[in-house]
Amino acid sequence: FAVAIQQARNVFDLAIDMGFDMTLLDIGGGFPGQQSAPIPFSAIASVVNEALDQYFPASEGVEIIAEPGRYFVASAFTLTVNVIAKRVVTKEKTNDDDPVDTQGPVMMYYVNDGVYGSFNCLLFDHAKVEVSTLQESDERSYSSSIWGPTCDGLDCILEDCPLPELRVGHWLFFRDMGAYTMSAASTFNGMPPPQKYYFCEQDQWNMVYPERVRKSSYIQKIPFMMTGHLVDEAHDFADEIFGTSPAAEALVGSPYGF
């Protein structure tokens, strides 16, 4: 970013020599939105601000804009996928010190989303994704690969990643999948896009929608909203499903409630 801003200064100076007076600088985007980013956003922001102060001081009156879409939405979405098929192959052991069992078997898992869906970011954005299992396991790990549901050999999500042995029906999840994923997904081979569910913590919900919280109702607990639901519809949906009975109140506090 610092080099790009310096080069932008050179372009502005050339424009002045040619009789142009440019007053707007767009520094672009690509700012990381996940906490696990190799370079944290705070470090990038510090470098950007120093470069702007040096090459485009406020006294010049140049308007500075940016495109921080990824920063805002990357961590807002966690993608879960279901194992729909499994294949076991063999592989010779090449490293005796490797904690992952590479002698065999080697697992190939097929899941219900792929590079033509939410994982298109692997092709178009050169993204790096990390897979996690829903339950921690002390079982030994096997060299594994994860594939999408299409018939295309390009539909590979991850290769040679250590995972405990999974079964068809198990779930995997990928954090920080909010940027440039579903927005560019297709329905190639007739595969539908994943459903979207919205959740938030109670204090955040109450802060954003204080007027919506019914003080005498279980809806103070966190509502569950499907795609396209409005806030009022979520209240009505919760009333319809759970009612206002003591049993419903108890269910709200459970891991399976709203």
Is the previous residue joined to 164 through a cis bond, with omega within 30 degrees of 0?
no
State the Cα–Cα distance between residues 148 and 115, nearest whole angstrom: 7
151 is catalytic: yes
The pair phi, psi for residue 2, each rounded to 5°, is -65, -45
The four Cα atoms 49, 54, 59, 63 give a dihedral, to 10 degrees, of -50
Task: Identify which of 178, 207, 39, 74 has the alpha carbon closest to the alpha carbon of residue 118.
Answer: 178
Q: Please give the C-alpha separations between residue 211 and each of 174, 207, 208, 241, in angstroms, as whole numbers.
A: 34, 9, 9, 22
Strands (E), the chain: 24-29, 63-67, 79-89, 106-111, 131-133, 141-147, 156-164, 171-174, 197-198, 225-226
Token output for 31: 């700012």
User: Among all chains, which residue has been given the structure tokens 């909010």?
Assistant: 178
* Residue tagged active-site, from 121, 151, 156, 200: 151
Q: What is the DSSP letter of 159?
A: E
State the Cα–Cα distance between residues 139 and 136, nearest whole angstrom: 9
Which are the catalytic amino acids? 151
